[in-house]
Amino acid sequence: MKIKKIETITSNEFTEVCWVRIHTDDGRVGLGETWYLPQSVSSVIHELFAPQMIGLNPIEKDEIWNRLFRLMSVFTYSGAELRALSAIDIALWDLVGQALEQPIYNLLGGKVRDKVKIYNTIGSYGDYQDNEFEQKDPVGLAQSLLDEGIDVMKCYYLAPFSENSGGNYISSKDLKNALKPLSIQRKMLGDQIEIAHDGAGAWQLTPAVKIVKAMEEYDILWQEEMIQPVNVSTHKKLAEETKTPICAAERLMTRWGFREYIEQGVAEIVMPDLVWTGGISETKKIADFAEVYQTPIAPHDWTGPVNVFACAHISLSSQNFMIQETNRAYYKGWYHKFVEPNILIEDGYILPTEEPGLGTRLRSDVLERSDIQVRVTDEAANWNVVGFIDPGQKVPNYFSRNTS
């Protein structure tokens, strides 16, 4: 099995998502995905990664990951390059699963649970305008989730207030107003629903401490990214001065980005974003590292349909899995327009796919949509060790294997 063609697919209707399809010489197609600046990601794939991958065997995905990471790390360890690598890694796992006729969770050690508990993050699309209802009808919103069998939700009560002050300050009066929806939810529904809170990295430390302390009386499941994960000692201070578990962080990239936060116990719940931080391979490593420190993981979502499938394989096979994020406005609203089958969610749980590989594929009519752009690489080329292409230059052995 050798890689013969790599495609990227983007949509004008869903402007954040980039799908990657890797085709092999024996007719298989692996699907990957990432989210945010899809044209930039697509350019990274076709300019930098794809020419290096033509002719390689997908089963050697660890070596491919390392080779591409070395290539991109000439300039960066994150950004569009890491998102591109994440999407490629998912597609490689999909191919290997198909070739071995096993769902990916079986290649990650096998299932340690029969289904994956989910929570719902507030989002909006089509019939579901949950962002609006977080303020307008907080009890009705929570009750509608309970009616679907979902008893954990995540909200952004403070978002309008951080915009006003740049995240530098919140008055006691504004804080009280911001927490009114939460107060009503607790009063009317008691502990029927668990509530997590996401600060979206919008606050400085001082107002973050004030907010987290004010929310303690409402028994919050976790406080996520109240401050940006750029300084582990600031996170430590936040954790020490408050009582709610600190969750970090979708903005941390690779196992090296997570290391200090896990080691120092300030990521009390570890939240990797699979399509940003390096794919299935890297997320499994982060999950295993968290397990060494007796810390649970809660994979991040709020993006495209492939991420939910990919995270479910990690969630099914990781001993320290806590709960997986989902967004009902997306999985009920638009995922079915692009993938078949769609993710199967019943009574607050994702049910595992029995299909080999990822368990889903792009619908055959996606390429017929008028809003779709496809870019293809099917020719091999080399980049030299400092990341510049120079066909006339002799390249080191570890960059030149299996290239034309």
CB of 99 to Mg ion, least distance (A): 35
- Asked if 134 is part of the footprint of Mg ion (rule: CB under 5 A), the reply reads no
Within residues 154-193, the interface with Mg ion by CB under 5 A covers: none
325 binds Mg ion (CB under 5 A): no
- Which range binds Mg ion by CB under 5 A, 50-58, 134-142, 197-205, 335-343? 197-205
Nearer to Mg ion, 198 or 282 (CB): 198
Residue nearest to Mg ion (CB): 198
Question: Residue 216 Cβ, how far from Mg ion at the closest point, in Å?
Answer: 20
Torsion from C-alpha of 236, 240, 242, 244, nearest 10 degrees: 70
Taking the complex as a whole, how short is the minimal distance between the CB of residue 5 and Mg ion, in angstroms? Answer: 35
Told to check if 198 binds Mg ion by CB under 5 A, we report yes
Q: Which stretch binds Mg ion (CB under 5 A): 11-19, 90-98, 194-202, 329-337?
A: 194-202
Pick the closer one to Mg ion by CB: 331 or 383: 331
Stretch that binds Mg ion, among 85-93, 130-138, 196-204, 211-219 (CB under 5 A): 196-204
Binding mask 29-68 for Mg ion (x = CB under 5 A): ----------------------------------------
Task: Rank residues 116 and 249 by Cβ distance to Mg ion and give the closer one.
Answer: 249
| Part in contact with Mg ion (CB under 5 A); list of ranges 37-45, 96-104, 198-206, 255-263 | 198-206
Residue (86 or 98) nearer to Mg ion, CB: 86
Q: Which is nearer to Mg ion, 179 or 247 (CB)?
A: 247
Q: Which is nearer to Mg ion, 197 or 284 (CB)?
A: 197
**Shortest reach from residue 272's CB to Mg ion, in Å:** 12
Q: What is the 3-state secondary structure (H, E, C) of the chain?
A: CCEEEEEEEEECCCCCEEEEEEEECCCCEEEEEEECCHHHHHHHHHHHHHHHHCCCCHHHHHHHHHHHHHHHCCCCCCHHHHHHHHHHHHHHHHHHHHHHCCEHHHHCCCCCCCCEEEEEECCEECCEEHHHHHHHCHHHHHHHHHHCCCCEEEECCCHHHHHHHCCCCCCHHHHHHHCHHHHHHHHHHCCCCEEEEECCCCCCHHHHHHHHHHHHHHCCCCEECCCCCCCHHHHHHHHHHCCCCEEECCCCCHHHHHHHHHHCCCCCEECCCHHHHCHHHHHHHHHHHHHHCCCCECCCCCCCHHHHHHHHHHHHHCCCECCEEECHHHHCCCHHHCEECCCCEECCEECCCCCCECCCEECCCHHHCCCEEEEEECCCCCECCCCCECCCCCCCHHHHCCCC
CB of 198 to Mg ion, least distance (A): 4
Stretch 272-311 residues interacting with Mg ion (CB under 5 A): none
Number of residues engaging Mg ion in binding (CB under 5 A)? 1
Q: Which residues bind Mg ion (CB under 5 A)?
A: 198
